[in-house]
Amino acid sequence: MTEELEQILSQLSQPDNSIIQQATAKLKQVFQDPAIIPALCAVMRGSLNPQIRQSAAVMLRMRVKKHWRKISPSDRESLKTEVLQAFMQETEHTVQHSLSQLCAVMVKHETPDRWPALLQLLNQSTKSSNPHDRQVGLLLLNKVIQSNPEPFKPHYNQLLQLFSSVLQDHNNPTALYYSILSLTAITASTGSEELNQMRSIIPSLIVALKHLIKANEDQACEAMEVLNELMESEVSIIVPHVADIVLFCLEVGCDATLSDSLRVKALSCISFLIKLKSKTVLKQKLLNPILQGIFPVLVAAPPPGQQDLEDEEDDDGDGTENDSPKHCAAQIIDTMALHMPPEKLFQQLMPLAKACLTSENPYQKKGGLMCLAVLAEGCADHIRTKMLPSVLQTVCQSLSDSNQVVRSAALFALGQFSEHLQPEVSKYCTDLMPLLLGYLSSLNQAKIGHITKVFYALENFMENLGADIEPYLPTLMETMLLSLNNSENLKIKELAVSAIGAIANAAKELLEPYFPPVIESLKGFLTTTTEEMRSLQTQSLDTLSVLARTIGKDVFSPLAAECVQLGLNLTNTIDDPDLRRCTYSLFSAVSIVSPDCVTPHLTDITTVMLLALKSNEGITAHLEEDKTFVLVDDDDDDDSGEQKDEDDILEDETEIDIHDVAGFSVENAYIDEKEDACEALGEIAFSTGVAFQPFLESSFQQVNEMKDFPHDDVRKAAFGAMGQFCRAQHRVWKENPSEANHQALLKLLDVVLPCFVEAVRKEHERLVVMGILETMNNVIKSCKEQVFKNPSHLKGVCYVIRDVLKKKTVCQGDSCDEADDEDQQAEYDSMLLEIAGEGIPLVTSSVPGDSFAPFLNDLLPLIMSKTKSSCTVAERSFSVGTIGEILHALVGVPGGRGVAGRLSNRLLPVFVAGMRDSDPEVRNNSVFGMGCLAEAAGPIVVSDYPMMLSVFSNLLTKETDLLVIDNLCAALCRMIMSNVGAVPLEQVVPALVARLPLKKDMEENKTVFSCLAMLYTNSPDLIVKLMKPIVAASSHVLGNKDVDQETQNSLSMLMTQFAQQQPAHFQAAVTSLPAEQQAKLSIAISTL
């Protein structure tokens, strides 16, 4: 049989299909012979042709992998002996490689302790004085450890000693390579007992990597993964060596003679290290060396006749996905911005950036602009409050630069500013819009790559303008519609369609006159089936979703049913993840506007989305070698008539073994599809209510599985959808208050709340934790006391908020390691604390005061610690605002008054100090808090009224900020309503009325006019004396779209009372007003 098998294998390598087909048929027959294992072993050891020996080893590996349980014990033992002997006598590297992979698969079934000969061979070969034997032994060791590191754990001590020794062998780069790969493989499973050994290896490891770089850059690039693995698995190993690692990575990353892939790997290591241990980097004074190292990379000119990747014609314009050293240098600054205190970063960064921005060299200027652009997200607060005018001026000047490289970078920077520095950037609308419109007017002359960047900046800027976009609408829409109708270039049409979505986000109902021609164009694009239109179709669906959400229900509803049908037709006929993703968004948008149009199709809609969540499509396994021979080992050759046991089924169902895989890659489109499917399912569940009930359980189960997905955005979306499902169930119960619906809600909350709490503690990614906390806040806001029907949820939620505020969660790892510099932290770290803090008032309003008091006593000091003058403006504003919201929430809960009263002595000094703050937002929140304290504590704080009124009076005389003045008026009203007898009304009320109408805080009209209505009942004479200014102020509130209907109705009733009970005074007040305001009052009175 051995000769026959060798002949068949030889025929399989012939360049003739008919011979290969005949050989394959014969091979299938041979594989049914029980003697196939010994025969393959004989060929693997005895054939003179290395290709055939390798083929035999590969076939044995496939056989072992799929049918180990079916191989007889004697054949197993024989195979263990044969494979090791073959390995020892083999001289061809490719065959050794396949044999080591065969051993690796066997180790999955036969642990090293049950295969002592393997351990003996590894021990002898890796310690051999012959460099080649050592190299081959390390290859085998690498493959078997990568296959199954855990069983080798008892030998880790010995292995680390071996690696430490091999890493000194600088003349044998292949041995270094396999040794480092093996070290990488065991890193994740090393325990505390190996920590010191691992730490001691790091210096040798860095030297070994330097030698490997000289010998083989591709292998060095792969080996450098060890640094990422060490950081991810056990960062404490590298902490003592952070400076050495950073300097090594800088040396590699900044060396232009090395390959881009190696430099990118090195610079990416620095980014990852900063993300994990930013405080250590700062403490070891590494910030300046890193910046000094990467700035030359950031500003380097490309080779003559070439361009940077992002300046090439086919670039997408959003500055992403370019894996070049220059892009990685910018990424490092971006990571610094997200993870370091802005004050410390800017102190060392800005001198370098300014030098670039004032240079005449276009690539220096570009580097400076890229630097500003990537700072915008992580240091938004710092830039907005301390340097916005100057950086915007720089960007504006660069938009008019003579060099397109500079102009493109300026457009990217403006796009980033527009996205992250709101609302302040939008105030520069009159300066920036003419510049951007000027770019649009020259669309025909510009290259498409540059036009893409223009649209990126324009979209991000327009999207946040709100009603301020109105003066520019005619010009913008004329340009966009012309591009849709006249341009031959599909990319320009796609950019215009996308821009219309951005315009709609700002303009909302103002876009209505342009709606018919826009819809006509979109329909045309969406009903075309040609492949080259796909990208334009995807964008059209996206914009259609935006229009559904923004244009107004009355305008969009007539199209709703047609849109759903269109989306379903596209998902049924075109297999494209991007297109499907946009249909989910469309279904979701339509469900908000016209849920009845979505309801009949919920079966089809949920089916396609749940399939997207289950699917492994887009996940590609990169196999280490050709799998030509897999087909000959199909399952149908020897299983007929046999009953498979469970283990066989488990073995047989895995098509690709994880250890044949060199790596996985996932196409971004499929990740985005899963993210959007989660978001859409949550939104549709909430919008369609009862109709979604039959699909809730299956949707929840599938989304729940996504919470452990490898990609952060999908995990975040899954938690968001779980929150939406809770809100949806709560809504169903409220609208149909049956016991079954109530129990379903409580059951869902019992599953979801513990998930949230655990994930906040254990999730590594800060943005995911922020998303979970926001979702949890929304669930508490919607479901209120139902969340806490189970008493364990109150403890769980309060304790996890406390843990975040104390920086004790996994994603805050670096924060809790080192307690110094408490007053300085990255802005995103502060934002995480703020989102957690926002949950406290929501919990306060959902449980009785006495139940919450013990937890509040725990949490309040953590919030109050951020009121110190040494804290940032954002922290002071947040802390005082949160305390105010807690008091506001106590007003409406049983026992709230007692809790507020007990807190008054601690809180009054905080508010008084806050009212003297230099920042208007802090003053505003302090005024609000003081008013809420008076309202919540009632009679308990009456003795403090004189002091409170004195502070308010002083502030009122000198305050210039309109928002603060509005809140002063509201705070005085709260004091009056809470203890009318304790306020000198004759002095306070005229001063209050003189500041009306409210200019900025429209929500407080409810407080102010409730107070005036109460005073009219209690002290009518006082109000009659002030009728003229009160009526005048009322005329500005009535009909104001920013004031809620309930307040407007209450005010209309007060005006009607004035008209009926004090006709002369009222008429005199009305006639003194302009005609337009008289008309508003007339309408208000007549409608009641």
Residues 522-572: tens digit of each pLDDT: 998 988 878 888 999 999 999 999 999 999 899 999 999 999 999 999 999
Among 207-216, 531-540, 835-844, name the one with the lowest average pLDDT.
Answer: 531-540
Mean pLDDT across the stretch 769-790? 97
User: What pLDDT score does 441 carry?
Assistant: 77
Q: Which residues have CB under 8 Å from 360's CB, separation 6+?
A: none
CA distance 610 to 701: 10
Question: Which pLDDT band, with edges at 50, 70 and 90, does 618 fall under?
Answer: low
- Reply yes or no on whether the pLDDT at 1006 is more than 80: yes
- Reply yes or no on whether the pLDDT at 803 is more than 90: yes
Of residues 1034 and 314, the one with the higher pLDDT is 1034
Mean pLDDT across the stretch 216-236? 90
Mean pLDDT across the stretch 169-196? 88
Question: Which pLDDT band, with edges at 50, 70 and 90, does 19 fall under?
Answer: confident
> Does residue 234 come out as left (phi exceeding 0), alpha (psi in the -120 to 50 range) or beta?
beta
Label the pairing between strands 661-666 and 619-623.
antiparallel
User: What pLDDT score does 924 carry?
Assistant: 97
Q: Which residues of 13-51 are buried (b: 16+ CB within 10 A; e: fewer)?
A: eeeeeeeeeebbebbeebbeeeebbbbbbbbbbebeeee
Omega of the bond leading into 154 within 30 degrees of 0 (cis): no
User: What pLDDT score does 314 carry?
Assistant: 57
Question: Which pLDDT band, with edges at 50, 70 and 90, does 443 fall under?
Answer: low
Residues 717-732: tens digit of each pLDDT: 999 999 999 999 999 9
- Reply yes or no on whether the pLDDT at 411 is more than 50: yes
User: What pLDDT score does 11 carry?
Assistant: 79
Question: Which pLDDT band, with edges at 50, 70 and 90, does 822 fall under?
Answer: low
User: What pLDDT score does 322 carry?
Assistant: 58
User: What pLDDT score does 658 carry?
Assistant: 39
The percentage of the chain sitting over the pLDDT mark of 90, rounded to a whole number, equals 63
Q: Which residues of 706-722 are buried (b: 16+ CB within 10 A; e: fewer)?
A: bbebebbbbbbbbbbbb
Residue 870 CA, distance from chain mean position: 30
Query: Is 728 in contact with 696 (CB distance < 8 Å)?
Result: yes
Number of alpha carbons in the 13 Å side-chain half-sphere of residue 336: 29
User: What pLDDT score does 815 carry?
Assistant: 54
Mean pLDDT across the stretch 871-894? 94
- Reply yes or no on whether the pLDDT at 990 is more than 50: yes
CA distance 340 to 280: 11
- Reply yes or no on whether the pLDDT at 821 is more than 50: no
Question: Which pLDDT band, with edges at 50, 70 and 90, does 620 fall under?
Answer: low
Mean pLDDT across the stretch 292-301? 95
- Reply yes or no on whether the pLDDT at 1014 is more than 70: yes
CA distance 397 to 390: 11
Among 106-110, 318-322, 422-426, 601-605, name the one with the lowest average pLDDT.
Answer: 318-322
CA distance 534 to 917: 56
Among 500-514, 529-543, 756-770, 878-892, name the one with the lowest average pLDDT.
Answer: 529-543
Residues 432-441: tens digit of each pLDDT: 898 888 888 7
Residues 450-488: tens digit of each pLDDT: 788 889 999 999 998 988 999 999 999 999 998 888 778
Omega of the bond leading into 474 within 30 degrees of 0 (cis): no
Mean pLDDT of the chain: 89
Question: Which pLDDT band, with edges at 50, 70 and 90, does 446 fall under?
Answer: low
User: What pLDDT score does 622 carry?
Assistant: 45
User: What pLDDT score does 638 carry?
Assistant: 42
Question: Which pLDDT band, with edges at 50, 70 and 90, does 642 fall under?
Answer: very low
Mean pLDDT across the stretch 892-909? 94
Question: Which pLDDT band, with edges at 50, 70 and 90, does 63 fall under?
Answer: confident
